[in-house]
Amino acid sequence: MVRLRESEHLLILCGATFLVMAGQGVVGPLIPRYATEFGVGAAAAGLTLSVYAFARLLLNFPAGVIADKYGRRVLLVGGPLVTSVGMIGSGFAGSITTLLIWRFVAGAGSALYMSGALIYLIDIAKPDQRAGYVATNQWALSAGVAIGPGIGGLLAEWKGLAFPFIVVGVLAIFTAVYAAIRIPETLHLARAESQAAADKNGPVAANRLRDFILTPRFAALALMTATIFMTRAGTRGTLVSLYSAGPPLNWGEATLGTLFTLTGLLTLFTLMPAARGADRFGRANIILFSGLTAGIGTMLIAQSTGSALFVAGNIVMAIGTGTSGPAPAAFVADIAPADIRGKCVAAYRSAGDIGFILGPPLLGWLADATNTAMAFRTSAVLVAAAAIWFVWVTRREPAAQPQHRSLPN
């Protein structure tokens, strides 16, 4: 009971994250197919994911500024409300143009909520808890993503591809109400920590955010994060969805949703070992494992000509992407100054969103210009190479150590 009380704020946040991601999971694998109903190809279908991430990219830094100045709760409550508007609008879209506009609005809501959630986690976690706290929240995230596609597939086959978007919009409103009632503010923890650091070390230097972004460690982590998000959105979210619809697989929405649910559930079993590994064996080793495994899984999909190898490749890829969350986020938390924590998290999230933006249309274009197998192989090489590069860069410098400790809950 003592440990449960100490983790109360974490568990409350996880509840909100589960609701947010369950909603996104419902529509995730359906978005490219929904877009093709407007008569567009793979590249344009990929834009429905990219514009979502582009909104997140634009809003990440404003969200970080808001978090540092006004607090975390405004993001955790306002984000789901904005998402609701975007999702309901997507369900009533009458053309690819209006769909892209509403997807942009939904992406803005995602930027606000997910930025606030990660900053909140860093606020309440001690350095030796960070990977575990991130993994616990991502467990809730993955549970929502895993459950959502199966529900979305059934809803789409029951009422059409537009209906799941309406359901998600209503769920997002419920999430905002839940966050407003249950999640407390934590800005005072970061400010107290920053003041303690200033009292100990003297005045802080100017341009620290610029210096933080330009360090080789962060640049290498940003590249790795971008390729992981490329794999999630471009490979899994776009290519897998479109490839499964045609020969030789010819899968329906429910079958595709079942695959996404099964691989999502697999992620639930990888997060906690990844968190423990990040604490025991170092952040870099787990990041290397994630990138190489994601690359191998993607390469297996490229070689598939039937359901067996296709499913096996998706499982291996899911292990790679599923273990990629705790270590990078904990790495950023270790090196981010407390008083600009929101902006540092924004930089980290923006790196992922760049991969989310570029991955779907570029891989979709490559699939249109050559073939889907070549697009899969390109994605595999990029994510594996980025992981190797990150490890090489980090091992050239002294090991990263947590620079500060958050106050207890």
**What are the tokens at 95?**
């053309």
Whether 321 contacts 340, CB under 8 Å: no
**What are the tokens at 256?**
């595709």
Give the count of alpha carbons within 13 A of 254, CB side only: 6
Q: Taking Cα atoms as reference points, which of 14, 116, 35, 44 lies closest to residue 74?
A: 116
Tens digit of pLDDT at every position of the chain (409 positions): 445 445 777 888 888 888 777 777 777 777 777 777 777 776 777 777 778 878 888 998 899 899 988 999 999 999 999 999 998 998 888 888 888 899 899 889 988 998 999 899 888 887 777 788 888 888 888 777 777 777 877 888 887 777 888 888 888 898 899 888 888 888 888 788 777 766 666 555 545 788 888 888 999 999 999 999 999 888 888 888 888 888 888 888 778 878 887 887 787 788 889 988 888 888 899 999 999 999 999 999 999 888 899 999 999 999 999 898 889 988 988 878 877 888 888 899 889 888 877 888 889 899 989 988 899 999 999 999 999 999 999 888 654 444 444 433 3
Residue 332 identity: V
Q: Taking Cα atoms as reference points, which of 303, 288, 236, 279 lies closest to residue 133?
A: 279
Print the SS3 string covering the chain: CHHHHHCHHHHHHHHHHHHHHHHHHHHHHHHHHHHHCCCCCHHHHHHHHHHHHHHHHHHHHHHHHHHHHHCCHHHHHHHHHHHHHHHHHHHCCCCHHHHHHHHHHHHHHHHHHHHHHHHHHHHHCCHHHHHHHHHHHHHHHHHHHHHHHHHHHHHHHHHCCCHHHHHHHHHHHHHHHHHHHHCCCCHHHHHHHHHHHHHHHCCCCCCHHHHHHHCHHHHHHHHHHHHHHHHHHHHHHHHHHHHHHCCCCCCCHHHHHHHHHHHHHHHHCCHHHHHHHHHHHCHHHHHHHHHHHHHHHHHHHHHCCCHHHHHHHHHHHHHHHHCCCHHHHHHHHHHCCHHHHHHHHHHHHHHHHHHHHHHHHHHHHHHHHCCHHHHHHHHHHHHHHHHHHHHHHHHCCCCCCCCCCCCCC
**What are the tokens at 308?**
């067996």
Q: How far apart are the first and last CA of the chain?
A: 15
**What are the tokens at 337?**
């100054």
For the domain made up of 2-395, give the CATH fold.
Growth Hormone; Chain: A; (1.20.1250)
Q: Taking Cα atoms as reference points, which of 330, 341, 337 lies closest to residue 286?
A: 330
- Rounded to whole angstroms, the Cα distance separating 352 from 112 reads 15
Please tell me the predicted confidence (pLDDT) of residue 196: 73
CA dihedral 47, 156, 172, 98 (to 10 degrees): 40
- Rounded to whole angstroms, the Cα distance separating 174 from 182 reads 12
Distances (CA, A) of 320 to 275, 296, 350: 14, 9, 21
Please tell me the predicted confidence (pLDDT) of residue 293: 96
pTM above 0.75? no
Domain assignments of the chain as residue spans, ordered by start: 2-395
